[in-house]
């Protein structure tokens, strides 16, 4: 036990003291926030309004059209396209300058020739021609200098849509109030009633499962490689044989796994603290502006399960990385052999969707028992239709036993591999070594 702790301590200190650790700990949050902030900044760059002339041959559409893009109107919730098109609105509709072209007995060709001139002279960015039968056939033309500006085209289209519906309703003698009511969007709150009759915030639970799964995924990708390197380190530096004259291979491997995991825990804790501080600050900012933000209502037991299954997921994959490390002689070889692991990881992550659709199916049951997919699958089942406790317990027992078995196999393979001197093991060889060592 003391030797185990010595290995843990060495692994931990050697890594935490390394410059790489310090740099990555502070750099990642900065990079992440840049990823969050920079796109928002770019989208917020003010561009001059897109100048569009409207040739309204119906003679009654312009007012509605003007209204459907004018600033104060487009932000209202009675706009049915608002729900999906918030992005488009921000970029397009609020930034249009419409002008009505007086037809004044000119022929369409004359008007177009005149508008084309203005387009060429860059006095206009585009013009719309609404034919006299626009309200019946809903066909219009949009000419512009910059056909690549997809946002403007879409914004014009949805503005026309809204204006046309409005106009048709007006013509059907629907009064203003009814019209507004008609476009009021549905607010659907999915609330799950638990067996104890308590209301739970299902969407927040889902988000949390997704979050836990995602952090697990990140942790495995980052620290799996480190575990791989840690296992190979003694082979590359040729220290393994000295160590094995003092400590059992299993103790050494477990010590490495736990040591690196403490490093991971340290780093994740630093990030989580920074994130929480940020979130608390952000939340108070949101609530002070009158926006709804609250900590989701989730039963305490779920938080416990989140932690347990996060650990299970992390350790299952970490041990597989350790096993790979025990089979190869250099980090490069290890990287190649680790690719299938990432594949399994991704597949088990995507099980999120089928399991959430039918959390009590036999399929969901089995994938929540298989250690590789259990962490995400079981968490999804817990937040949707919590399975009986014995299933949760069984899944954890199977999972953590697998961790020990894989580590035991890895340590056997490691020892024999070391005795064989720099030979990379094929999978059948690794199995034979595990038996014979």
Residues within the interface to other proteins (CB under 8 A): 2-3, 6-7, 10, 13-14, 18, 233, 237-248, 415, 419-421, 437
Backbone angles phi, psi at 202, to 5 degrees: -65, -40
In the complex with other proteins, which residue's Cβ is closer, 164 or 416? 416
Say how far apart CA 193 and CA 380 lie, in whole Å: 16
Find the shortest distance in angstroms from Cβ 11 to other proteins: 10
12: which DSSP letter?
Answer: H
- CA distance linking residue 79 with residue 72, whole number of Å: 12
Q: What SS3 state is found at 369? A: coil
**What is the smallest separation between the CB atom of 255 and other proteins, expressed in angstroms?**
10
β-bridge pairing 126-130 and 141-144 = antiparallel
Closest CB 411 distance from other proteins, rounded Å: 12
* Residue among 13 and 23 whose Cβ is closer to other proteins: 13
| Beta carbons within 8 Å of 278's beta carbon, 6+ residues apart | none
Of the two residues 6 and 170, which places its CB atom closer to other proteins in the complex? 6
- The CB-of-407 to other proteins minimum distance in angstroms stands at 18
Q: Which is nearer to other proteins, 151 or 244 (CB)?
A: 244
Residue 281 CA to residue 197 CA, distance in Å, equals 33
Give the CA radius of gyration of the chain.
31
Q: Looking at beta carbons only, is 150 or 242 nearer to other proteins?
A: 242
CB of 233 to other proteins, least distance (A): 8
Helices 300-327 and 427-436, interaxial angle, to 10°? Answer: 100
Of 142 and 250, nearer to other proteins (C-beta) is 250
Q: Minimum distance from CB of 5 to other proteins (Å)?
A: 8
The nearer residue to other proteins, 317 or 433, going by C-beta atoms, is 433
Neighbours of 84 (CB within 10 A): 9
Q: State the burial class of residue 425 (Cβ atoms within 10 Å of its Cβ: 0-12, 13-18, 19+).
A: buried
Alpha-carbon distances of 133 from 46, 49, 60, 136, 164, rounded to whole Å: 36, 29, 11, 5, 12
Beta carbon nearer to other proteins, 247 or 398: 247
Closer to other proteins by CB, 96 or 414: give it.
Answer: 414
- Closest contact distance (angstroms) between CB of 239 and other proteins is 5
What is the chain's length? 437
Q: Are 312 and 372 in contact (CB under 8 A)?
A: no
* CB closer to other proteins, 343 vs 420: 420
Nearest-approach distance from CB 18 to other proteins, in angstroms: 7
* Burial zone of 30 (CB within 10 Å; 0-12 exposed, 13-18 middle, 19+ buried): exposed
Compute the least distance from the CB of residue 431 to other proteins, in Å.
Answer: 14
Instruction: Name the minimum Å distance from CB 419 to other proteins.
Output: 6
Give whichever of 262 and 271 is closer to other proteins, judged by the CB atom.
Answer: 262
Q: Which long-range contacts (CB under 8 A, 24 or more apart) does 99-102 make?
A: 99/51, 99/52, 99/53, 99/54, 100/53, 100/54, 100/56, 100/62, 101/53, 101/54, 101/55, 101/56, 101/127
Give how far the C-alpha of residue 231 lies from the chain's centroid of Cα atoms, to the nearest Å. Answer: 31
Q: Which residues contact 89 (CB under 8 A, 6 or more apart)?
A: 74, 75, 82, 155
Distance, CA of 8 to CA of 2 (rounded, Å): 10
Q: Shortest Cβ distance from residue 277 to other proteins (Å)? A: 33
């Amino acid at each position: 036990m003391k030797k185990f702790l010595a290995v843990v301590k060495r692994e931990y200190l050697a890594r935490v003291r390394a410059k790489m650790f310090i740099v990555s700990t502070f750099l990642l949050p900065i990079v992440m926030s840049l990823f969050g902030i920079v796109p928002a900044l770019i989208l917020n760059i003010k561009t001059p309004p897109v100048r569009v002339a409207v040739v309204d041959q119906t003679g009654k559409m312009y007012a509605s059209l003007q209204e459907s893009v004018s600033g104060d109107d487009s932000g209202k919730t009675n706009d049915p396209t608002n729900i999906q098109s918030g992005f488009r609105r921000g970029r397009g509709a609020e930034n249009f300058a419409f002008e009505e072209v007086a037809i004044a007995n000119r022929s369409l060709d004359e008007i177009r020739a005149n508008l084309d001139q203005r387009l060429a002279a860059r006095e206009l960015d585009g013009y719309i021609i609404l034919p006299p039968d626009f309200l019946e056939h809903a066909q219009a033309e949009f000419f512009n200098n910059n056909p690549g500006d997809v946002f403007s085209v879409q914004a014009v289209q949805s503005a026309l849509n809204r204006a046309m519906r409005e106009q048709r309703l007006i013509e059907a003698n629907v009064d203003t109030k009814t019209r507004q009511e008609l476009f009021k969007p549905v607010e659907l709150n999915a609330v799950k009633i638990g067996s104890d009759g308590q209301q739970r915030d299902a969407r927040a639970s889902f988000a949390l499962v997704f979050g836990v799964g995602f952090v697990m995924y990140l942790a495995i990708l980052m620290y799996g490689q480190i575990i791989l390197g840690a296992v190979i380190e003694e082979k590359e530096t040729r220290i393994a044989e000295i160590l094995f004259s003092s400590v059992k291979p299993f103790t050494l491997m477990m010590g490495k796994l736990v040591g690196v995991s403490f490093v991971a825990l340290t780093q994740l804790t630093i990030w989580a603290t920074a994130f929480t501080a940020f979130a608390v600050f952000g939340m108070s900012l949101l609530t002070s502006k009158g926006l709804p933000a609250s900590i989701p209502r989730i039963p305490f037991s779920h938080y416990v399960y989140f932690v347990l299954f996060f650990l299970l997921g992390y350790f299952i994959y970490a041990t597989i990385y350790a096993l790979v490390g025990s089979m190869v002689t250099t980090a490069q070889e290890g990287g190649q052999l680790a690719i299938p692991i990432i594949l399994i990881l991704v597949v088990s992550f995507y099980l999120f969707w089928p399991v959430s659709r039918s959390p009590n199916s036999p399929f969901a049951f089995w994938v929540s028992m298989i250690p590789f997919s259990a962490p995400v699958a079981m968490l999804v089942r817990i937040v949707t239709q919590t399975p009986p406790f014995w299933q949760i317990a069984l899944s954890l027992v199977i999972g953590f036993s697998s961790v020990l078995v894989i580590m035991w196999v890895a340590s056997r393979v490691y020892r024999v591999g070391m005795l064989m001197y720099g030979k990379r093991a094929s999978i059948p060889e690794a199995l034979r070594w595990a038996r014979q060592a």
